[in-house]
Amino acid sequence: MDAADFVNLLVSAVLLAGIYAAMSVGMTIIYGVMKIVNLAHAGFLMLGAYYVLELHERLNIDPLVGSVLAFPVFLLAGMLVHWTLVKRIPVSDQPTLASLLLMFGLWLVLQNIGYLIWGSSDRSILTSRTLSSMHLGPITIPTVRVMVFIPAVCSLGLLEFVLRKTWYGRAVRALMQNRYAGRLAGIPVEKMARLTFGVGIGFAGAAGGLLAQLYSFSPDFGHGFLLRSFVIIVLGGLESFWGAAAGALVLALVETFSILVVPAGYQPAIAFSLLVLALVLLPGGIAGIFAKKHRWA
Amino acid sequence: MGWIKTGDEMKMKWLSALALVGLLLAGFGAPNATSNPAAVAAKDIPVGVVLPLTGREAKPGQFQKEGIELAIKQINEKGGIFIRELNRKLPLREVFYDDGSDQAKSAGLAERAMSSDDVVAVLGGYSTALGEAESVMPDRYQTPWITTGAAATSIFNRGYQWIFGTLSPVDLLGYTTAEFLGTLVDSGRLRKGLKVALALENTDHGVDYGNGIKKWIQEHGGYFTVVFSESFDLGSPDFSGLLQKVKNAHADIFLADAHLQDYITMHRQYVQAGLHHTMISYGARGPETDARKALGDATDYIFAGIWWSKNLPYPQVKKFVGDYKGFTGREPDSWYAATAYEAVRGLAAAIEKGGALKKATIRDELRKLDLRESLLPGQVLRFGKGGQVDTPFVIVQNKPGGRVDLVYPKDATNGEAVVPPAAQK
Amino acid sequence: MQMGRLLNYRVAGWGTLLMVLGILPRFGISSNLTRLLFTALVWIIASVAWNLLGGFSGQVSFGFAVFYGLGAYAAAMGINGGLHPLAALTISGLVAALASVFIGLPTFRLRGPYFAIATIGVSEAVRVVMTNLSFTGGASGYRIAEHGRFRPLEHYYAALGFSAVAVVISVWIHESKFGLSLQAVREDEEAAADIGVNPLKAKLMVHLLAATLTGIAGGVYARYAAYIHPQGVFGFHTSVAILLMPIIGGAGTVAGPVIGGFVYGLVQEELVAAFPQFHLLLYGALLIVIILFEPRGVTGWLVKLRGFIERIWRKSATASVS
């Protein structure tokens, strides 16, 4: 494999990492603040994809614009979900099985509502950008991947800015460290939880819209990405989004370069194996998993 | 979650469990009156049809259903099939099940049709996977089964006695594809010694396709070399890894074997990755309208080896295309409806020849069937030793502007094969 | 005394059910219903098994398909190799048991949702490997060469027999000290360790039992279907089914998984035939409702119903007295 091929792979991996990071950010926020493993994340990715598809087909709105528009819509949807469902389960400093199963049930419901509305055939978004690619010397980059990478990275940057520079961001980080202390410090925990859940879902919807421009999707969409999101969260840690970005980069690099040694058929197993290895072997960095004190509500 | 229950609670639960079971049983199961269809006064001929209307294979499944229903409609319009034993005509009645593109369901529904719906035969099994699952049932329940959409030889070389298929074997498809490319070399439009990259779906279908291609290449030395061959999982959203490897192989010809959805996904990513080959094929997929819609002119010049084309120059094909258009409002998409239509025609002929509604008789007649004026290439419907037909394949090629031309074999063509010019920027 | 009364009701209740199911096929019920009952019984084996780990011990696994699939392939390959069905099913159980140790040892260090997620990863990884392994058929699946007539009742009684075994094991554990220790582990693992329970050993033990039973369920299914493939027996939807049944029926109870299995096996197909995608919507909604309002599932509702009826009964009894 010559240098041009190697650089092509590297560029591919970096672009993919940006997309993976954007995709997992929604789950990371919700997990960090509320310790809820949001299995329904996959469902919202899927709905985001269809949302952008419908905007594109009915109103001729460009999918990139559609993805941005998806954020506020899904933010509100997320807040609604929190208000009706999530706030009724007991909260805890540790992830609970009740929340896991609740989100799983929600995912099943979302998936099948998707089937009812849109049927089960694959859909995709075709724009003038979809089939074109950019050439920088010997390196070929599909245009659409770059067009998706940029908003993905921007959204991460925006999030990082919000977290560091705004009151809301500081409150979120405080809650991620210690929920009860945050309450003592005067943070309105329930309202924050609702808003943050909404933000997480908002990111999921927008990410879904971005992913829809890269892949075909059906209501089943999101299953594979869900597991990849877990890997990223676990690899990168929960305290910061730089961690998630690092995790995304590791996953993307491993996936992209593994094709050189692993037959294509085994590729999905890479993410799964990484997940299991990360969960089981990763010491210290993911302190929360192996902590001594464990109660789940 | 639960606590340990006291005795009374347990009692309540068992009674309720029993009541629940009792209710469900009452709802579902009445004792069987009789399982001998001949004893009951037959008023129609039930035929089971198990096809995917939902799930991944929904589109082709729907086309096949339409082909079957058109054939049944035409037969019933003439009063049905004449049954010598009963001395009257009986109409065909479709007993349809949607298997949701799921193999376990497909097998279960075929089993249900054969064991409790008293059908005389079952048609179905679109795609090799669903066909493989269903193929266990015909011998078990001694009911003839004609697959309208499964072609892998592994189904037909197991010694099953009750299975038939209207699709020619897939390795012949691979062989014909390579043969077609060989004619392009002979006529000077392609150079000799070109390199071939194969991407095969991870099923018996893909394996057979690859074997057919490799067989022809081996038999005709000097024409082509296979420089890359790997299989991929159907239903992946992302083929970029595979395509990167294809790119690294620097081949001239790209031959893939995929299902409709994967063809669309893969080719989109193929174009995005800036890949280019002189000739491209996706096995038996190419001209489908969905692909044209999803990919636009990126599908131009893709060729496919298929079991039937609406451009075949037979009068019965013209008539079928017209009838289909009248029935559904559109022209047949690729080959799907035709093989299903022919299966019904074949079954009807076998029932009539046999003169009785006995499944063994029908099966024997299917074995001896020699039906002329078939829609299939070669114009004869005849089941081979294992139950599979042996009709030749045709090659079609997408042309700009939505055209699809038949380009091989020579006696059936309506257009010239085109070797597209080298990649434009 | 209390224990005696308990056992009497238990034996009577389950025994009646077993008898009813045992003689039904002889009464000429339709072959379709026999098939549906068979399906339900196979599901019940796996459902009861999952409940041992997920309900009794609180370790929710999203990856039980790995045991189901391994059992299915083991049995299928064994039968093709000439083994007697019972021997083949024994191998199913053994293979699954062995796998449970390999999977449990590393993953039981994880708690709650992390364990659940790890089990998804394991199950899916095995599925991908099986899809690509050529000697088991890969994605084309694996077929059992059938000889002789097909006897549906043979399969039916095998399923019935093993589900009876599963329920007996479930009842036994529920009433035993082992069951108490599992409950302790479920409620608070550290406290359980403090009072002398070895959580890891307990979890591994129950995991092994659950896996063995699930493997046998897979083997029974494989014998019947005569054709299995990785997407089906190792698929995520199989893991989902195995966990939905006991949770909806009532996790942690003995009857819950049985109720769940019956509902899933019998009602499912009618729903699927009418609305191919509708059934998961229903189960998802049920799951949400159960998590929010009645964690003991259908069993919990039945208990509440019984309490309600009892209160009305008492009211009318006291009213008539006064």
pLDDT for the residue numbered C3 = 54
pLDDT score recorded for residue C7:
62
Give per-residue pLDDT as tens, C142-177: 999 887 788 888 899 999 999 999 999 999 999 899
User: If you measure CA to CA, which chain C residue comes closest to A107?
Assistant: C284
Percent of chain A at pLDDT > 70 equals: 92
Q: Which residues of A touch B273 (CB under 8 A)?
A: 133, 140, 142
- CA of B76 vs chain C CAs: smallest distance (Å): 26
pLDDT at A287 over 60: no
Distance CA B62, CA B148 (A): 12
* For residue C200, pLDDT beyond 50: yes
Distance CA B91, CA B326 (A): 21
Count of helix runs (H) and strand runs (E) in chain A: 12, 2
ipTM of the complex: 0.84
**What does the alpha-carbon distance between residue A193 and residue B259 come to, in Å, rounded to a whole number?**
45
> What are the pLDDT digits (tens) for A131-159?
788 888 778 888 888 888 998 888 888 88
Please, are residues B257 and B205 in contact by the beta-carbon 8 Å criterion? Answer: yes
Query: Number of A:B CB contacts under 8 A?
Result: 93
Q: Specify the residue for token string 């919990």.
A: C300
Q: Which site among B54, B102, B233, B238 would you substitute to test the A interface, given the most A Cβ atoms closer than 10 Å to its Cβ?
A: B238
CA distance B122 to B135: 11
Judge: C129–A269 Cβ closer than 8 Å, yes or no.
yes
CB contacts, 8 Å: B104 with chain C: 225, 232
Cβ contact (<8 Å) for A101 and C291? yes
Torsion of CA B303, B309, B315, B319, to 10 degrees: -140
| Six-digit token string for A178 | 């210690």
Contact residues, chain B, for C267 at CB < 8 Å = 24
- Rounded to 5 degrees, what are φ and ψ at B174? -60, -45
Contact criterion met (CB < 8 Å) for C281 and A116: yes
A140 at the B interface (CB within 8 A)? yes
One DSSP character per residue, A5-68 reads: HHHHHHHHHHHHHHHHHHHHHHHHHHHHHH----TTHHHHHHHHHHHHHHHHHHH---HHHHHH
- What mean pLDDT is predicted for residues C74-97? 95
Domain ranges of chain A: 3-221
Catalogue all structural domains in chain C, each as residue range(s) with its CATH number: 2-321 (1.10.3470)
Residue C262 with chain B: CB contacts under 8 Å: 17, 20-21, 24
Q: What is the pLDDT of residues C225-240, one digit of tens each?
A: 999 999 889 999 899 9
Nearest to A207 by CA among A3, A10, A52: A52
| Strand extents, DSSP E, B340-422 | 371-372, 380-381, 394-399, 403-408
Q: How far apart, in whole angstroms, are the C-alpha atoms of residue C223 and residue C155?
A: 8
Which residue reads 């063994």 in tokens?
B360
Best mutation target among A100, A111, A251, A270 (most C Cβ atoms within 10 Å) is: A100
Q: What pLDDT digit, counting tens, does each position of C12-39 carry?
A: 888 888 888 888 887 777 888 888 899 9
- Please report which confidence band the pLDDT of residue C4 belongs to, taking 50, 70 and 90 as the band edges: low
Q: Do C31 and B105 touch (CB under 8 A)?
A: no
pLDDT recorded at residue B15 = 59
**B 23-62 residues inside an 8 A Cβ radius of C:** 24-25, 28-32, 35, 53-55
* Low-confidence spans in chain B with pLDDT less than 70: 1-41, 422-425
Q: Left (φ > 0), alpha (ψ -120 to 50) or beta: where does B79 sit?
A: left
d(CA B321, CA B315): 10
Q: Which of B71, B19, B62, B51 lies closest to B320, judged by CA?
A: B71
Q: Of the candidates B319, B304, B308, B313, which has an alpha carbon nearest to the alpha carbon of residue B376?
A: B308
Q: What average pLDDT does range A230-259 have in this prediction?
A: 79
| Nearest one of A252, A199, A275, A287 to A10, comparing CA atoms | A252
SS3 B284: coil
Q: Do A140 and B273 make contact, defined as CB atoms within 8 angstroms? A: yes
Average pLDDT (C283-310) is 86
Q: Is the pLDDT of residue A261 over 90?
A: no
Integer CA distances (angstroms), A48 to A74, B400, C158, in order: 8, 34, 47
**What residues of chain C lie within 8 A of the CB of A104, using their CB?**
284, 287
Contact status of A124 with chain B (Cβ, < 8 Å): yes
Which of the residue ranges B341-350, C99-108, C270-279 would you say has the lowest mean pLDDT? C270-279
| B20, two tokens | 């629940």
Q: Is C204 on the interface with B (CB under 8 A)?
A: no
Nearest-by-CA chain A residue for C185: A295
Specify the pTM.
0.88
pLDDT at C315 over 80: yes
| CB–CB contact C60 A266 (8 Å) | no
Query: SS3 of A190, please?
Result: helix
CA distance A34 to C53: 27
- Laid out side by side, the sheet with B303-306 consists of B224-232, B194-201, B253-257, B279-281, B303-306, B394-399, B403-408
Kindly list the residues from chain B whose CB atom is less than 8 angstroms away from the CB atom of residue C146: 136, 139-140
* Mean predicted confidence (pLDDT) in C184-200: 88
Q: Is the pLDDT of residue A285 over 80?
A: no
Q: Does A135 touch chain B if contact means CB atoms closer than 8 Å? A: yes
Neighboring chain B residues of C36 at a CB cutoff of 8 Å: 28
Contact at CB, C5 and B132, closer than 8 angstroms: no
Task: Provide the 8-state DSSP code for B302.
Answer: -
Chain C residues contacting A, CB < 8 Å?
58, 60, 106-107, 109-114, 116-118, 120-122, 124-125, 128-129, 131-132, 188-190, 236, 240, 247, 277-278, 280-281, 283-288, 291-292, 295
User: Chain B: nearest CA to C282, how far in angstroms?
Assistant: 17
- Partnered with residue B408 across adjacent β-strands are B395
Query: Which one of A120, A149, A213, A221 makes the best mutation probe of the B interface by having the most chain B beta carbons within 10 Å?
Result: A120
Chain B contact for C134 (CB, 8 A cutoff): no
* Integer Cα distance of C60 and A101 in angstroms: 9
* pLDDT tens per residue across span A77-100: 999 999 998 888 877 767 788 888
What the block records as the tokens of B212 is 């057919």
Cβ pair A227:C121 closer than 8 A:
yes
The domains located in chain B, with CATH, are 45-168+312-381 (3.40.50.2300), 171-306+394-412 (3.40.50.2300)
